[in-house]
Structure formats: structure tokens, C-alpha cells
Amino acid sequence: MRRDVFQAIADPTRRAILTLIAFQAMTPNALAEHFGSSRQAVSKHIKILAECELVRQEASGRELYYHLNPNKMKELDSWLQPFRETWEGRFNQLDNILDNLKTK
């Protein structure tokens, strides 16, 4: 089952997991230490992130390490870009209005 990526990142724990593995690959046990929850609970979150292709796993001996998938993050960024441009334009307009009010 392929999940919706926006539903996956809506959860604060999953966003925190993405933030942690953005800096280094981590095992489920190492991730669980950051949340004070069980490995099983973290594994469920990782499973959802993997189904959305936001993370990928790599085996090293008996351990599984999870890495951030930067290509999927780029897809999210590309989708968000038009919204970012709209808001930046609106903030720039507001800045101009405020500057004009200050000079009057």
C-alpha cells in the first residue's frame, strides 16, 4: 500500500525522524532512544515513511540503517515552490506598503 506523503509528514514524530536521519543514518533502536518509545512504535513510523519513499533502508551486518531519500524531499520542495513564491510576493508587497507608510 502506498501512502500519501503529506499524511506521513503530518505526524510530528515522523517529521522528527526525518530530521534526525537527515544528518546521519540511524537504526530503529537509535531512533527510539530520542523519543522514549519502543522500537516497535518507531518501526511503525519508519514503515509509513518507507512506504512514501521518504526513507530508504540499508543493511549493515545484522543492523538496518535508515537514510533520508533526498529525491523524494526534492519532489515535496518542487510542489511547495509555487506556494512559497506566492507568499514571498505577498510579504514583499506588505513590506513596500509598510515602508511607504513610514515615509509619510
Domain ranges of the chain: 1-68, 70-104
Apex CA 38: angle with CA 34 and CA 43, to 5°?
Answer: 90
Q: What CATH architecture is 1-68? A: Orthogonal Bundle (1.10)
Check if the beta carbon of residue 42 is closer than 8 Å to that of residue 31.
yes
Confidence (pLDDT) at 87:
93
**Mean of the pLDDT values across residues 91-104?**
89
pLDDT tens for each residue of 15-68:
999 999 999 999 999 999 999 888 899 999 999 999 999 999 999 999 999 999
Residue from 3, 52, 60 nearest 26 by CA: 60
Q: What is the pLDDT of residue 2?
A: 64
The pLDDT assigned to 103 comes to: 86
Residue 104 to residue 101: CA distance in whole angstroms: 5
